[in-house]
């Protein structure tokens, strides 16, 4: 399934049905009078966050969503039928933006959350509503209210606890594959990862979600490479895991490149808690590890951890460091095999 995190949709709520002008005149009934019914209410357009979706690909093939109009009123005081509502089913984490792509209408962060995007028009009054003591045979009725037409943008920001950062080929996908059941594509050329991947990682009885995004390069904030299109997916993360390739000959420059792109992107990413890791240490001897770690610590002004996603050296220590940085309410208790086996018995 193709990953899509930005979609443009056109919505329109239903117009209300018009009121009816009608008079009753029946045999053996001395007095008649107006009996025109009201029009029905037009359908509304809603957005609902549902479980089981992680992409906006459905909106690639359908962009127009029009609710039904209300039916007009009829004689004998019959009200027209209401138009049916229409619901846009979006994944959790979707932002709904106005046409300017800046004004946030709603942020769908919980399963089952519903937001009204366009309210249906009210039905018009029939001539029965206009009957008075001085106007007992009104010949007027209201038309239905027009529906609301809008152009909206849907922008998906994956909800994860940890976001992976680093240059292309820094080992982000290898780390995700080594610690979770996710199977991202791994190869020895830049930009192997073309779209974000999610993996559920478990350590010491708890689980959290890790998001792997395509690597950044210098000038990504200006659109170079894949640009900063996917940085929005780590905005909701509690902590960032910055992987630095230990086998690179430009270690310090690589570190400052990523930090510079975070600051250029804004959104508070540069201020988020960050764990810096010197990756691919399986290619280094003890002397090189100590020297590069000291250099990187001087550059970042904080502690640096050592890890190899291939040999899994230091992986558990990194996971525990991430766990300590994640808010307690984000951690999910890991189900043991014994608990999963305990099912209902007669």
> How large is the average pLDDT for residues 251-258?
87
Report pLDDT for 54.
Answer: 80
Q: Please give the pLDDT value at position 84.
A: 95
Average pLDDT over residues 94-120: 92
**Percentage of the chain surpassing pLDDT 70?**
89
Query: How far is 143 from 17, CA to CA, in rounded Å?
Result: 7
Q: Which of 243, 274, 160 minimizes the C-alpha distance to 209?
A: 160
Question: Residue ranges for the binding site for Mg(2+)?
Answer: 173, 193
| pLDDT at residue 89 greater than cutoff 60 | yes
In the predicted model, what is the mean pLDDT of residues 119-126? 94
pLDDT confidence bin for 125, thresholds 50/70/90: very high
CA angle (96, 57, 12) in 5-degree steps: 45
What are the backbone angles phi and psi of residue 50, rounded to the nearest 5°?
A: -120, 160
pLDDT interval class at 327 (50, 70, 90): confident
Question: For the chain, which residues make up each domain, given as ranges?
Answer: 6-156, 162-335
C-alpha 175/C-alpha 317 separation (Å) is 13
Instruction: State pLDDT tens for residues 190-226.
Output: 666 777 778 888 888 888 888 888 877 776 666 665 6
Homologous superfamily (CATH) of 6-156 is GTP1/OBG domain (2.70.210.12)
Question: Residue 346: what pLDDT?
Answer: 47
Which has the minimum average pLDDT: 77-91, 129-143, 284-298?
A: 284-298
Q: What is the CA radius of gyration of the chain?
A: 30
Which residue positions form the known binding site for GTP? 166-173, 191-195, 212-215, 279-282, 308-310
Contact indicator for 272, 237 with CB cutoff of 8 Å: yes
CB of 201 closer than 8 Å to CB of 211: no
**What is the reported pLDDT for 329?**
59
Higher-confidence residue of 182 and 250: namely 250
CATH superfamily label, 162-335: P-loop containing nucleotide triphosphate hydrolases (3.40.50.300)
- Which residues does the annotation place in the binding site? 166-173, 191-195, 212-215, 279-282, 308-310
Q: Is the pLDDT of residue 62 over 60?
A: yes
Mean pLDDT of all residues in the chain?
Answer: 85
CA distances in angstroms from 339 to 93, 294, 329, 342, 344, listed in the order given: 30, 45, 21, 5, 11
Of 161, 230, 159, the C-alpha closest to 193 is 230
Residue 343 has pLDDT above 70, yes or no: no
Q: 162-335: same fold as 6-156?
A: no
3-state secondary structure of 199: strand
Whether residue 26 has pLDDT greater than 60: yes
- Where is average pLDDT lowest: 69-83, 122-136, 201-215? 201-215
Q: Is residue 110's pLDDT more than 50?
A: yes
Indicate the SS3 state at residue 288.
helix
Residue 192: the pLDDT is: 64
The listed range with the strongest mean pLDDT (161-165, 263-267, 329-333) is: 161-165
Quote the pLDDT of residue 225.
59
57 near 1, Cβ under 8 Å? yes
Q: What average pLDDT does range 269-292 have in this prediction?
A: 86
């Amino acid at each position: 399934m193709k990953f899509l995190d930005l979609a443009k949709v056109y919505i329109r709520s239903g117009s209300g049905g018009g009121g009816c002008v009608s008079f009753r005149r029946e045999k053996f009934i001395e007095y008649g009078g107006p009996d025109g019914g009201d029009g029905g209410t037009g359908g509304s357009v809603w957005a609902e966050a549902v479980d089981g979706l992680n992409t906006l690909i459905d909106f690639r093939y359908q962009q127009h969503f029009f609710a039904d109009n209300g039916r007009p009123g009829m004689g004998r005081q019959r009200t027209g039928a209401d138009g049916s509502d229409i619901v846009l089913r979006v994944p959790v984490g979707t932002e709904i933006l106005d046409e300017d792509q800046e004004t946030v209408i709603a942020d769908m962060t919980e399963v089952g959350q519903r937001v009204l995007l366009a309210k249906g028009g009210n039905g018009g009054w029939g001539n029965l509503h206009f009957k008075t003591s001085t106007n007992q045979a009104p010949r007027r009725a209201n038309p239905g209210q027009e529906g609301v037409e809008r152009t909206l943008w849907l922008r998906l920001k994956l909800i994860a606890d940890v976001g992976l950062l680093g240059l292309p080929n820094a080992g982000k996908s290898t780390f995700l594959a080594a610690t979770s059941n996710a199977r991202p594509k791994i190869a020895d050329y830049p930009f192997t990862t073309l779209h974000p991947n999610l993996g559920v990682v478990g350590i010491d009885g708890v689980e959290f979600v890790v998001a792997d995004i395509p690597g950044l390069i210098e000038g990504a904030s200006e659109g170079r490479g894949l640009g900063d299109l996917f940085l929005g997916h780590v905005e909701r993360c509690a902590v960032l895991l910055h992987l630095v390739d230990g086998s690179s000959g430009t270690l310090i420059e690589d570190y400052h490149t990523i930090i510079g792109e975070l600051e250029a992107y804004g959104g508070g990413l540069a201020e988020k808690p960050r764990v810096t890791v010197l990756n691919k240490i399986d290619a280094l001897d003890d002397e090189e590890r100590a020297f590069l770690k000291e250099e990187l610590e001087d550059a970042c002004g904080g502690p640096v951890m050592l890890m190899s996603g291939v040999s899994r050296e230091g992986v558990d220590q990194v996971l525990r460091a991430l766990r300590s940085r994640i808010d307690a309410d984000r951690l999910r208790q890991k189900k043991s095999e014994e608990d999963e086996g305990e099912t209902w018995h007669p």
